[in-house]
Structure 1
Amino acid sequence: MDYRQFYCMTLRMSIDCNGCYQKIRRALLQMQELESHLIDRKHGRVSVWGAFSPQDVAIKIRKRTNRRVEILELREAAGPGAGDEQGGGGGGGQMP
Protein backbone atom coordinates (compact mmCIF):
# COMPACT_ATOMS: atom_id res chain seq x y z
CA MET A 1 0.00 0.00 0.00
CA ASP A 2 1.50 3.32 -1.09
CA TYR A 3 -0.52 5.62 1.18
CA ARG A 4 1.35 8.72 2.34
CA GLN A 5 0.33 11.07 5.15
CA PHE A 6 0.33 14.85 4.61
CA TYR A 7 3.26 16.45 6.42
CA CYS A 8 4.83 19.82 7.00
CA MET A 9 8.58 19.29 7.43
CA THR A 10 11.32 21.79 8.22
CA LEU A 11 14.89 20.97 7.23
CA ARG A 12 18.20 22.65 8.04
CA MET A 13 20.56 22.99 5.08
CA SER A 14 23.60 25.05 4.25
CA ILE A 15 22.58 27.76 1.76
CA ASP A 16 25.83 29.66 1.21
CA CYS A 17 25.28 31.36 -2.12
CA ASN A 18 22.80 31.92 -4.94
CA GLY A 19 24.04 28.77 -6.70
CA CYS A 20 23.27 26.67 -3.61
CA TYR A 21 19.81 28.24 -3.39
CA GLN A 22 19.11 27.46 -7.07
CA LYS A 23 20.31 23.86 -6.70
CA ILE A 24 17.98 23.29 -3.72
CA ARG A 25 15.08 25.04 -5.47
CA ARG A 26 15.48 22.91 -8.63
CA ALA A 27 15.57 19.71 -6.56
CA LEU A 28 12.36 20.70 -4.75
CA LEU A 29 10.53 21.64 -7.95
CA GLN A 30 11.34 18.24 -9.50
CA MET A 31 9.64 16.37 -6.64
CA GLN A 32 5.99 15.75 -7.55
CA GLU A 33 5.04 14.63 -4.02
CA LEU A 34 5.59 18.16 -2.67
CA GLU A 35 2.60 20.50 -2.73
CA SER A 36 4.56 23.57 -1.66
CA HIS A 37 7.95 24.66 -0.36
CA LEU A 38 9.53 27.66 1.29
CA ILE A 39 13.28 28.34 1.33
CA ASP A 40 14.56 30.62 4.12
CA ARG A 41 18.05 31.60 2.94
CA LYS A 42 18.80 33.80 5.95
CA HIS A 43 18.33 31.00 8.50
CA GLY A 44 19.30 28.09 6.24
CA ARG A 45 15.94 26.37 6.53
CA VAL A 46 13.75 24.67 3.97
CA SER A 47 10.07 23.92 4.67
CA VAL A 48 8.15 21.47 2.52
CA TRP A 49 4.48 20.46 2.57
CA GLY A 50 2.72 17.57 0.87
CA ALA A 51 1.91 13.87 0.90
CA PHE A 52 5.27 12.15 1.22
CA SER A 53 7.46 9.87 3.25
CA PRO A 54 9.69 12.26 5.28
CA GLN A 55 12.82 10.11 5.22
CA ASP A 56 12.50 9.49 1.47
CA VAL A 57 12.19 13.22 0.75
CA ALA A 58 15.18 14.08 2.97
CA ILE A 59 17.29 11.41 1.23
CA LYS A 60 16.20 12.61 -2.24
CA ILE A 61 17.08 16.21 -1.42
CA ARG A 62 20.45 15.14 -0.03
CA LYS A 63 21.29 13.09 -3.14
CA ARG A 64 20.16 15.77 -5.61
CA THR A 65 21.91 18.68 -3.88
CA ASN A 66 24.93 16.84 -2.42
CA ARG A 67 24.33 18.74 0.84
CA ARG A 68 23.80 17.66 4.42
CA VAL A 69 20.10 17.65 5.37
CA GLU A 70 18.87 17.73 8.97
CA ILE A 71 15.18 17.32 9.84
CA LEU A 72 14.36 19.98 12.44
CA GLU A 73 10.59 19.62 12.67
CA LEU A 74 8.02 17.21 11.34
CA ARG A 75 4.30 17.57 11.91
CA GLU A 76 1.22 16.11 10.34
CA ALA A 77 -0.77 18.54 8.23
CA ALA A 78 -4.35 18.55 7.00
CA GLY A 79 -4.98 17.06 3.57
CA PRO A 80 -5.28 19.11 0.37
CA GLY A 81 -8.08 21.66 0.37
CA ALA A 82 -8.42 21.69 4.18
CA GLY A 83 -7.64 25.29 5.06
CA ASP A 84 -5.60 25.84 1.91
CA GLU A 85 -5.81 29.57 1.27
CA GLN A 86 -3.29 29.49 -1.56
CA GLY A 87 -5.92 28.70 -4.14
CA GLY A 88 -4.13 25.71 -5.64
CA GLY A 89 -0.93 27.68 -6.21
CA GLY A 90 1.75 25.11 -5.42
CA GLY A 91 5.40 26.00 -5.99
CA GLY A 92 7.22 28.45 -3.76
CA GLY A 93 4.41 30.17 -1.89
CA GLN A 94 3.66 30.54 1.80
CA MET A 95 3.14 27.47 3.93
CA PRO A 96 -0.51 26.78 4.83
Structure 2
Amino acid sequence: LSPQFYCMTLRMSIDCNGCYQKIRRALLQMQELESHLIDRKHGRVSVWGAFSPQDVAIKIRKRTNRRVEILELREAAGPGG
Protein backbone atom coordinates (compact mmCIF):
# COMPACT_ATOMS: atom_id res chain seq x y z
CA LEU A 1 0.00 0.00 0.00
CA SER A 2 1.67 3.19 -1.15
CA PRO A 3 0.80 6.58 0.34
CA GLN A 4 -1.69 8.72 -1.51
CA PHE A 5 -0.31 11.16 -4.06
CA TYR A 6 -1.02 14.76 -3.08
CA CYS A 7 -0.61 18.29 -4.29
CA MET A 8 -0.35 20.55 -1.26
CA THR A 9 -0.10 24.32 -1.04
CA LEU A 10 1.39 25.88 2.07
CA ARG A 11 1.58 29.48 3.21
CA MET A 12 4.88 30.58 4.71
CA SER A 13 6.58 33.90 5.14
CA ILE A 14 9.48 34.14 2.73
CA ASP A 15 10.90 37.57 3.51
CA CYS A 16 14.44 37.27 2.28
CA ASN A 17 16.79 35.29 0.13
CA GLY A 18 18.05 33.38 3.15
CA CYS A 19 14.55 32.23 4.06
CA TYR A 20 13.96 31.15 0.50
CA GLN A 21 17.17 29.12 0.44
CA LYS A 22 16.36 27.56 3.82
CA ILE A 23 12.93 26.43 2.65
CA ARG A 24 14.32 25.20 -0.66
CA ARG A 25 17.02 23.16 1.05
CA ALA A 26 14.49 21.61 3.43
CA LEU A 27 12.27 20.63 0.49
CA LEU A 28 15.14 19.18 -1.53
CA GLN A 29 16.14 16.97 1.40
CA MET A 30 12.74 15.34 1.56
CA GLN A 31 12.74 12.17 -0.53
CA GLU A 32 8.98 11.76 -0.46
CA LEU A 33 8.47 14.91 -2.50
CA GLU A 34 8.25 14.48 -6.26
CA SER A 35 8.62 18.19 -6.96
CA HIS A 36 8.04 21.59 -5.40
CA LEU A 37 7.42 25.17 -6.39
CA ILE A 38 8.20 28.20 -4.25
CA ASP A 39 6.28 31.37 -5.00
CA ARG A 40 8.22 34.06 -3.18
CA LYS A 41 5.95 36.92 -4.14
CA HIS A 42 2.88 35.40 -2.52
CA GLY A 43 4.67 33.40 0.16
CA ARG A 44 3.34 30.10 -1.10
CA VAL A 45 5.03 26.75 -1.32
CA SER A 46 3.51 23.96 -3.40
CA VAL A 47 4.67 20.37 -3.12
CA TRP A 48 3.75 17.23 -5.02
CA GLY A 49 4.40 13.63 -4.10
CA ALA A 50 3.25 10.57 -2.22
CA PHE A 51 3.40 11.71 1.38
CA SER A 52 1.43 12.20 4.54
CA PRO A 53 0.49 15.91 4.49
CA GLN A 54 0.65 16.35 8.25
CA ASP A 55 4.14 14.86 8.46
CA VAL A 56 5.47 16.99 5.62
CA ALA A 57 4.06 20.18 7.13
CA ILE A 58 5.62 19.35 10.50
CA LYS A 59 8.94 18.46 8.91
CA ILE A 60 9.09 21.73 7.00
CA ARG A 61 8.14 23.63 10.13
CA LYS A 62 10.92 21.96 12.16
CA ARG A 63 13.56 22.43 9.50
CA THR A 64 12.79 26.07 8.72
CA ASN A 65 11.63 27.22 12.13
CA ARG A 66 8.63 29.02 10.63
CA ARG A 67 4.90 28.81 10.84
CA VAL A 68 3.50 26.62 8.09
CA GLU A 69 -0.14 26.90 7.15
CA ILE A 70 -1.79 24.37 4.85
CA LEU A 71 -3.90 26.39 2.42
CA GLU A 72 -4.95 23.66 0.05
CA LEU A 73 -4.64 19.91 -0.14
CA ARG A 74 -5.86 17.86 -3.02
CA GLU A 75 -5.31 14.34 -4.18
CA ALA A 76 -3.35 14.19 -7.39
CA ALA A 77 -2.75 11.48 -9.93
CA GLY A 78 0.43 9.62 -9.15
CA PRO A 79 3.46 9.61 -11.46
CA GLY A 80 2.48 8.03 -14.74
CA GLY A 81 -1.15 8.27 -13.72
TM-score, normalised via structure 2 length:
0.94
In 2: Cα distance, 1:46 partner to 1:37 partner? 7
In 2: Cα distance, 1:79 partner to 1:48 partner? 13
Name whichever structure is richer in strand by fraction: 2
Shift of 1:32: 0.1
Calculate percent identity across the aligned residue pairs. Answer: 100
The structure 1 segments of at least 4 consecutive aligned residues displaced by more than 6 Å after TM superposition are none
Superposed CA offset, 1:52-84 (max 9, x none): 00000000000000000000000000011xxxx
Superposed CA offset, 1:13-52 (max 9, x none): 0000000000000000000000000000000000000000
**Structure 2 unaligned regions, length at least 5:** none
In 2: Cα distance, 1:69 partner to 1:79 partner? 24
Q: Are 2:57 and 1:53 aligned?
A: no
SS at match of 2:37: strand
Number of corresponding residues: 76
SS at match of 2:30: coil
**Structure 1 unaligned regions, length at least 5:** 81-96
Superposition CA RMSD, Å = 0.2
Shift of 1:11: 0.1
Q: Which has the larger radius of gyration?
A: 1
Identify the structure with bigger relative contact order (alpha carbons < 8 Å, sequence gap 6+). 2
The corresponding residue for 2:26 is 27
TM-score, normalised via structure 1 length:
0.79
